[in-house]
Structure 1
Amino acid sequence: MRRTLALAASLLAATAGVSATRGEQWWAHVQVLAADDMKGRITGSPDHLRAADYVIGKLKALGLEPAGVNGFLQPVAFTEQRILGAETKASLEGPDGSVPIGVPDAMIVSGGGGAAREAIDAPLVFAGYGLRIPEAKHDDFAGLDVKGKIVVVIAGGPSTISGALKSNARSERTRYLAEKGALGIIALTPPKQIEIPWPRRMLVASQPAMFLADPALRDIKTPFFSAMFDTAKSELLFKGSGHRFEEVAALADASKPVAGFDLAQRLKVKVAAQRRDVMSANVVARMPGSDPALRSENVVVSAHLDGLGVGEPIKGDTIYNGAMDDASGVATVLEIAAKLKAEGAKPKRSILFLFVTAEEKGLLGSRYFASRPTVPAKSIVADLNFDMPLPLWPLETVLVLGAEESSLGEVAKAVSVAQGLPLVPDPLPDRNSFTRSDQFSFIRQGIPAVAFKFGFARGTPQEAIEKEWRAVRYHSPSDDVDQPVEKEEAVKLNDFVAEMALRVANGPARPTWNADSAFKKFVRP
């Protein structure tokens, strides 16, 4: 049975009195943060606040300075939006007449991004991968009329385009489509790209979404419809079009070009939603720099503290503990801070240890911090982020997401050589990992950023382990402290990033984007 908070805390106290290994010390934080008593640390809950108090206690014990606006805290205002699936009515109007679409058993309507469009009746158009990438002379929307329509897209992208470019294009397309007059978007997933089985997605969809209360920080200022469709039922959207989902899915699974075309269906939806105001907070601590000329600059080391809370039961368990996602990352940032303090590190630049809220709600806490930091915005030189590093096998290689985009990649290479840990490229670039976690909030502000995971290659036993973990434990109650974890191997990655943080903090120049990086465009004058 998973340990309670009280038991985990007593174990942590006990290890302080004996020579616990560093892996056990790291794991002790995970045991506290992912205990059943923490109830999944959902944003805005008393449980998330207790998790924040635990982190603050550790930061104080290390002698780190508070760097929030209220001590260690940076409060953030949200609007919580819950889509009521049982009361939401949807149908496809087309060649077979009116075909009811179950919500969420066939279609999951997103409550994130902003206030949901409450009523919609619009034609559908298929836009292939839905990627607009001027740098690669690729535009799936060219020649398509999207005004007044719902745009259907499929996951993936041409193999000839880098994963970073594709990820960035996906992050920008909703705003682009809204500007072009589209009313909404439906995302499809080809069979070989499924990460989470649809029944589990349905369970998570029952939880409320959130968006930032301040409209200035949202990508879209007006209501916009956003949904995903069950792969097993996506054929319904293509009826009468002369095309089949099976055909386009096969092309997407092979990363081949996928053309767009008009669909013969209209989607009619009446969305039922509930909203309420929620407050939560980021936690920020500072290790002051030692160099008079550089200490006003800041290197950020980050992870997200929030989880999915209490949700629909799976095998009778309702607590989505979030041990790997992302209590493990929080523990790693705490242990990096502890390592630097224990070794008497005197970084020239200051180092900020940032524990953000609302990552699971759409990177919202990090977006707020990166947009309205508690330090001068120009002082932040880089972000090194942890989200599910997944120490599930011996650490032999390191995946540094974004290493090829900025000079942080050269720092990573130097540490790689020094520690004998080769770097590997992203084995699954169409997963969009580089833009799916909090580092992307910093990138959008023009700040070089990278994220870290245990490396693996396609076709290896490690890939099989990672795939099974995502299919079984990712965003489910079984992501708890009873799962097998390589605790001592986790510390090796902690040391890798601790060394990177020091090298960035002590470097003569700030990190810069590479000349050919698509993310240079975010740099502000």
Structure 2
Amino acid sequence: MKKHRYLVTLLPLIALGGCDTPTPDTESAAQTNGFEQVYQSISADDLKQYTKVISSDEFEGRSPTSAGEKKTLDYLTNEFKKLGLQPGNGDSYLQPVELLEITADPDMTLYIGDETLPYGENMMLGTSREQERVELKDSDVVFVGYGINAPEYNWNDYEGLDVKGKTVIILVNDPGFENPDSGKFQGKTMTYYGRWTYKYEEASRQGAEAAIIVHETEPASYGWSVVANSWSGPQYGLVKENGNMDRVAAEGWIAHEVAQNLFRHAGFNFDEEKAKALQGPYSQPLNIKASATINSTLKKSDSYNVIATLPGSSTPDEHIIYTAHWDHLGKDDSLEGDQIYNGAQDNASGTAAALTMAKAFASLDTAPKRSVTFLVVTAEEQGLLGSKYYADHPVIPLAKTVANINMDAMNILGRTKDVTVVGKGKSELEDYLQKAATRQGRHLVGEDKPQAGYYYRSDHFSFAKKGVPALYAEGGSEPIDEATAQYRKRTSLITTGCYHQVCDEFREKWDFSGVQEDTQLLFDVGYHIADSSDWPNWSQSSEFQRAE
């Protein structure tokens, strides 16, 4: 198959074994290694207590570079040390990640066509450049459809178009979402071309001066409040030698209704232009100008990934890496009442799973053949920056990284009969997952909203882009029994809408049996890969491949 040109980084040539499910010898070793006892010891109480502590007000919402980060790092390193895991970065549990903090002055207005858009309500704008002042002055505005350049799909919205110095308006998601029967892209399943990160990257490659995405709730899979909360306040990028000057000067979002008004005032109908963009590569100059001044406060600082390792018993240079992100959105002093984004489910729960799983691996009679490493990263909420930095500066060579297993926003809605595999069908890691699920009497299903592109929205993606098989699986949607179904309904009424909101906070009434079950599941998967000599690979239909 044709590979996504920007996704695949081939690893040095390595010998790949087959990816059969665990052999009888492996199972026999597990039986004599205390595996069953340790598996059963994975405790809902431990998971609950870790989640409660990490998401407490004491940690101040765990924003990178804040006082809350220091408290979080101290807690995590102390816990890993108590559990008997070794420092994963030489003699340190920490890997410095140099971040550039950019805080845009909210006293900002975007003038575009006849629209005057103040910052915040229906417009968000900022810069990734290391500049205190960025000016967009009378920039020609061009609608570039989905803003995609994908040769393997015979699609290039920029073909024959010179956007140097111009402002591009871009639709969210990709053309398959609203035209799933067209055969374009992967139908309802979002590709990376649909992610906002890609759209800014491609606009930058094309030489645009500014890139603005039109927000629509359904294709984006989240409401405007998520955009407003995520894009306001300090924004983080990785420090680069070129000051990120190869990035567009201004990047941001406008609300759907703003786009409709903007197109109408420019003499176009937004819905009609969008319909044309759905049919094939499309662009349309809007014959209007855009201007804005972005004043930013810049600050360079170090945040940290946490790395802890249990050395393997026979091939310690080969590693299984579990990932979770410790960070969340911090606190907002401008809010009335609750000001702390505690991030209990996202992602104190995943960090709790990492600690609980570390305890389990450390409790085995003998360590697995391969090393097991826990990478708890920073700045996931700012664009997977901690895991991206690690993937670009790996402590463990990527050629020796057998697999990545990610834990993000664990299932606090009770036990389920199914297991949701995000990006189902991408790799042979699912062979191990299937066996572990069968052990629990569960079955694997694909995600219910493949159009949301969740596979590209958490830290495993940083490994996938480098060719390392990466698994992201979580609790399903089919409750184990009627009592759980009723609990699920009650809890969902409270937690729905709490993504990236201050209401994502720990509740004593949460049922952690689903988190426990999924932690056992992923412990099972990681153990059997770590205690084998197999090198699981990507499926042939995946856009990611190891070198062969």
Flag whether TM exceeds 0.5 (same fold).
yes
Q: Secondary structure at the match of 1:297?
A: strand
**Structure 1 pair 231–301 and aligned structure 2 pair: CA distance change class (3 A):** same
Shift of 1:37: 1.2
Match for 2:516 among 463, 466, 491? 491
- 1:207 is aligned to 233
Which range moved further: 297-306 or 445-454?
Answer: 445-454
TM-fit CA distance, 1:180: 1.9
**TM-score normalized with structure 2 length:** 0.82
Please point out which of 432, 439, 442 is paired with 1:418: 439
1:344 aligns with 2:365: yes
Secondary structure, in 3 states, of the residue corresponding to 1:518?
coil
Write the distance in 2 (CA, Å) between the matches of 1:339 and 1:446.
28
CA distance change for structure 1 residues 453 and 130 in 2, over 3 Å: closer, same or farther?
farther
What are the Cα deviations for residues 80-122 of structure 1, in whole angstroms up to 9, with x where unaligned?
1001111x232013xx4xx311112221114447658701131
Structure 1, 441-450 or 231-240: larger mean CA deviation:
231-240
Q: 1:483 to 1:224 in 2, by over 3 A?
A: farther
* Paired residues of 1:75 and 1:281 also in contact (CA < 8 A): yes
188-197 or 204-213, which deviates more: 188-197
Number of the residue aligned with 1:239: 264
Say whether residues 1:155 and 2:176 are aligned partners.
no
- Matched residue type, 2:208: A
Which of residues 153, 178, 185 in structure 1 aligns to 2:204? 178
Alpha-carbon distance between aligned partners in 2 of 1:38 and 1:446, rounded to the nearest angstrom = 35
What is residue 426 of structure 2 aligned with on the other side? Answer: 405
Q: 1:270 aligns with which of 277, 293, 297?
A: 293
For residues 467 and 105 of structure 1, do their structure 2 counterparts lie closer, same or farther at Cα, with a shift above 3 Å needed? farther
Query: Taking structure 1 as reference, are residues 432 and 445 closer, same or farther at Cα in structure 2, changes over 3 Å only?
Result: same
Matches within 5 A, 1:63-462: 63-86=84-107, 88-93=108-113, 96=114, 99-112=115-128, 115=131, 118-121=134-137, 122-157=139-174, 158=176, 159=180, 160=183, 161-162=185-186, 166-168=191-193, 170=195, 171-193=197-219, 195-199=221-225, 201-215=227-241, 221-246=246-271, 259-291=282-314, 294-311=315-332, 316-344=337-365, 346-456=367-477
User: Would the alpha carbon gap of residues 394 and 143 (structure 1) be closer, same or farther in structure 2, given more than 3 Å must change?
Assistant: farther
How far has the Cα of 1:149 moved from its partner?
1.9
Contact 1:238–1:264 (8 Å) recurs in 2 = no
Identity rate, percent: 27
Whole-angstrom CA distance in 2 between matches of 1:467 and 1:125: 42
Structure-1 separation of matches of 2:248 and 2:216: 28
Which of residues 475, 490, 507 in structure 1 aligns to 2:532?
507
Tell me if the contact between 2:145 and 2:274 (Cα under 8 Å) persists in the aligned partners: no
- C-alpha deviation, 1:136, in angstroms: 2.7
Q: SS of 1:101's equivalent?
A: strand
Give the superposition deviation at 1:337.
1.4
Note the C-alpha offset of 1:202: 2.9
DSSP 3-state at the match of 1:295 = strand
Secondary structure in 1 matching 2:99: strand
**Structure 2 residue runs without a partner (length 5+):** 1-40, 479-484
Equivalent residue letter for 2:431: E
Give the SS at the match of 2:327: coil
Q: 1:194 to 1:370 in 2, by over 3 A?
A: closer
- The residue type paired with residue 184 of structure 1 is A
Does the 8 Å CA contact 2:215/2:224 hold for their aligned counterparts?
Answer: no
Q: Secondary structure at the match of 1:41?
A: coil
Distance, in Å, in 2 between the alignment partners of 1:332 and 1:251 is 46
CA distance in 2, matches of 1:197, 1:175: 23
- Which deviations, in whole Å up to 9, do the C-alpha atoms of 1:467-503 show, x marking residues without a partner? 8777621111111113753211110000111111112
Which letter maps to 1:48? E
Name whichever of 137-146 and 175-184 sits farther off. Answer: 137-146
Asked whether the 8 Å contact 2:110–2:290 carries over to 1, the reply is: yes
What is the deviation of 1:131?
2.8
Partner of 1:47: 68
- Aligned mates of 1:29, 1:417 — CA distance in 2: 28
User: Are the counterparts in 1 of residues 170 and 212 from structure 2 also a CA contact under 8 Å?
Assistant: yes
In terms of mean alpha carbon deviation, does 242-251 or 117-126 score higher?
A: 242-251
Change (3 A) 1:508 1:21: closer
* Distance apart, 1:465 and its partner CA: 8.7
Following TM superposition, by how much is the alpha carbon of 1:307 offset from its aligned partner in structure 2, in angstroms?
1.2
The farther-off stretch of 401-410 and 295-304 is: 401-410
* Greater shift in the superposed pair: 188-197 or 150-159: 188-197
Aligned 8 A contact 1:415 1:499 in 2: yes
CA–CA separation in structure 1 for the residues paired with 2:500 and 2:467: 30
| Partners of 1:513 and 1:494 in 2: CA distance | 23
Q: Distance in 1 between matches of 2:162 and 2:492?
A: 38
State the match for 2:25 in structure 1.
none
Deviations 1:288-334 (A, max 9, x none): 1112xx32111100100111111156561101111011100000111
Structure 1 pair 126/453, CA: closer, same or farther in 2 (3 Å)? farther
Q: Which amino acid aligns with 1:64?
A: L
Runs (5+) with no aligned partner, structure 1: 1-19
TM-score normalised over the length of structure 1: 0.85
Name the CA distance, whole Å, in 1 between partners of 2:154 and 2:203. Answer: 18
> Matched residue pairs, number?
493
SS in 2 for 1:289: coil
Tell me how far 1:435 sits from its aligned partner.
Answer: 1.0
Distance of 1:116 and 1:318 partners within structure 2: 28
| Residues 41 and 51, structure 1, Cα contact 8 Å, conserved in 2 | yes
- Are the counterparts in 2 of residues 168 and 435 from structure 1 also a CA contact under 8 Å? no
Q: Is the 8 A contact 1:456 1:462 kept in 2?
A: no
How far is the alpha carbon of 1:275 from its aligned partner?
A: 0.4
Deviations 1:155-214 (CA, angstroms, capped at 9, x unpaired): 232134237762256344433322221122111122434554434643443320011123
SS of match in other structure, 1:490: helix
SS state at 1:265 partner: strand
Cα separation, 1, equivalents of 2:440 and 2:365: 20
What is the deviation of 1:73? 0.9
Between 157-166 and 327-336, report the one with greater CA deviation: 157-166
Give the CA RMSD over aligned residues. 3.1
Contact preservation (8 Å) 2:100, 2:301: yes
Describe the shift of the 1:280–1:113 C-alpha distance in structure 2 as closer, same or farther (beyond 3 A).
Answer: same
